[in-house]
Amino acid sequence: MKKHVVQLLDTYHKRARQIAVLRYELSAPVKITEEEMIDTLQFAHQEGTGHTEGHISNKTPYIALNYREKAGLLNAEVLSEISLELMELEKEQQRLEYYISLLEPRQEQVLRRTCFEKAAQEAVAEELGVTVRRVQDIKAQAISELAEMYGLITGRK
């Protein structure tokens, strides 16, 4: 469980970036417009099939109508997938931040400064008026306590 907690702390910024990207994609999703697809269908033909240039198959209008429906479903599916992934990442991030807020103030400060703000342990030690070894001990204890918290929800330690 400690490895899991360390991995969560190490990937905090990566998750934050993923959350920002997904939020943007959710607010401004990339979609293929119906017109783009219909234009593609109208003028697409295989080489050497014997069709004359500019010939439009009588199947094209049916394909275009079906495409409109399918495009709407596909676009909705993409938005749903983005929403689901975003919710999972945000939930994981919020859980980590909440559990850290439950730690003793000094443990919380050490984790926030060393993991989230990427401050050097020497700088944190100076801020707290302790040795670097003491900062390492505080961080290790904080990680152990976080592992216990995560163990409560998963039933493992």
pLDDT tens per residue, range 6-62 = 999 999 999 999 999 999 988 877 666 666 656 655 555 555 555 555 555 566 666
Q: What are the boundaries of each domain within the chain?
A: 2-43+55-154
Task: Say if residue 126's pLDDT is above 90.
Answer: yes
Q: What does DSSP assign to residue 28?
A: S
Q: Is 57 left (phi over 0), alpha (psi -120 to 50) or beta?
A: beta
CA within 13 Å, CB half, 1: 16
